[in-house]
Homo-oligomer: A and B are copies of this chain.
Amino acid sequence: MDNRPIGVFDSGLGGLTAVRSLRQILPEENLIYFGDTARVPYGGRSRETLLRYARQDVRFLRTHDLKAILIACGTVSTTSLTTLQAENDLPIVGVVEPTCRRAAAMTKNKRVGLIATLASVRSGAYEACLARIAPEVQVFAKPCPLFVPLVENGRIHPGDIVIETVAREYLEPLLETGIDTLILGCTHYPLLSEIIGSICGPGVTLVSAGEESAFELKRLLKARELRADPRRAGTAEFCVSDRVEDFERIASLFLQEELRHGARRVDIEQY
């Protein structure tokens, strides 16, 4: 048994949906979350800048005695995961490969849809990963640039004409391609799964990025005998690099639970 915490980081607060999955799947584990809210979004940055940011994020998290790290950021997962794994002597799980493995396992007609931010779609990361692990799968990608701001403004409720109109515009052309599986390739999107699911209908299986990473981490901790005492209740601690004032409102939205305490501000440039 190993009761040391798991570190989780993302460019912003979207990765909190991965924290939510971790708390459901590994309720006995302690979690430390870092959201780089001062430098969000990572999407448009150069590879060098991304690696520098990711190294700082990891260095800060490792000021705690961690047993594993989950990278809840798609951009870092695809550009810097291998380097970070080589540089750090603890298990690090990304967000892209577990998701692609799940999608490849779920699709029957080998037609998989991908919705994500413009930067993630452009990076081609999910396509590249699927081409490697399941070359028979065809990927149909659709950037959904308004989903992140709409989610962050709380527009996640079925019946809201704004989010429903935007979601239908994004999804209907994608559904015409005949996909039977849809990757929600952005950590904000699980909050829209009810709306997305009702537009896609029962014939399309939704695969959420953060959730698959949480399952992957569970398997990995079990294999290495790093699981925490199952009788304990895990805690969660939250750190951000920008102002903490908005944290509680947005975090409650992402975690779908009331927070007991707020976030701590970290000067990430110092790491």
Contact = CB atoms under 8 A, between A and B. Distances in A.
Interface of A: 37-38, 44-45, 145-146, 148-150, 152-153, 161-162, 165-166, 242-243
Contacts of A44: 37-38, 242-243
A120 to B, nearest CB: 14
Nearest to A39: B39
Nearest to A267: B46
A149 to B, nearest CB: 4
Contacts of A145: 149, 152-153
Contact of A146 (B150, B242, B243): B150
20 contacts: A37-B44, A38-B44, A38-B45, A44-B242, A44-B243, A145-B149, A145-B152, A145-B153, A146-B149, A146-B150, A146-B153, A148-B149, A149-B149, A149-B150, A161-B161, A161-B162, A161-B165, A162-B162, A162-B165, A162-B166
Nearest to A169: B162
Nearest to A118: B246
A1 B188 CA distance: 55
A267 to B, nearest CB: 10
Nearest to A145: B153
Contacts of A146: 149-150, 153
Given A145-B153, A146-B149, 16 more contacts: A37-B44, A38-B44, A38-B45, A44-B242, A145-B149, A145-B152, A146-B150, A146-B153, A148-B149, A149-B149, A149-B150, A161-B161, A161-B162, A161-B165, A162-B162, A162-B166
Contacts of A162: 161-162, 165-166
A152, A162, A165, A243 interface centre (most CB from chain B within 10 Å)? A162
